[in-house]
Amino acid sequence: MSIGLLVLVLLLAVLLVLAWRWKLDFGPIVARFIEQFAILVPRMLCALVAAGFIAELIPKQTVSNYLGDDAGLMALPVAAFMGLLIPAGPVIAFSIAAVFARSGASTAALVTFITAWSLFAAHRILIYEVPLLGPSFLRFRALSVVSMPFVAGTLAYIVGLVTGFGEAIPIH
């Protein structure tokens, strides 16, 4: 069992004890669980399968050519766009980031890519955000955070002008 899951299980145990001591009615709690489970899980199955295929089809090596140091700040929009396109969890996103890093992507481009992916990963929006919070929330959030990958990337670019600190050492 991973650490993340272990923490969640412990948290669940604490909450169960609390609910039991406060004599909460478990009927509505179970009902809410079932409602959210029904919204999430069937879509999750299909989205996961689709995401696996899409990640395979993205031309990673070609894109890397646009993310190098010589591209400067121009690499940021390309990196941000790539982040939007990866509809998959951290395993695939960070493997792709490592591919980019190995083929010479700049630190600023990597920061932009990861930030864009973490904010806009399409699978997360489609599986969790829209079903649980609705399209109005998605539109509102997108407007609020659309500039964030560029803010992070530009800050990383400025740091890079001053010092070489922070360069990625990708795994092989």
Report 59-118 residues binding another protein (CB under 8 A). Answer: 89-91, 94-95, 97-98, 101, 107, 110-111, 114-115, 118
> Does 127 help bind another protein (rule: CB under 8 A)?
yes
Query: Toward another protein, which CB reaches closer, 29 or 74?
Result: 29
Q: How far apart are CA 138 and CA 132, in angstroms?
A: 10
Report how far residue 111's alpha carbon sits from residue 89's, in angstroms, rounded to the nearest whole number: 17
Residues 6+ apart with CB under 8 A from 75: 66, 67, 68, 105, 106, 108, 109, 112
SS3 121: coil
Judged by beta carbon, residue 72 or residue 166, the one nearer another protein is 166
Say whether residue 144 binds another protein (CB under 8 A): yes
**31: contact with another protein by CB under 8 A:** yes
Q: Can residue 126 be called a binding residue for another protein (CB under 8 A)?
A: yes
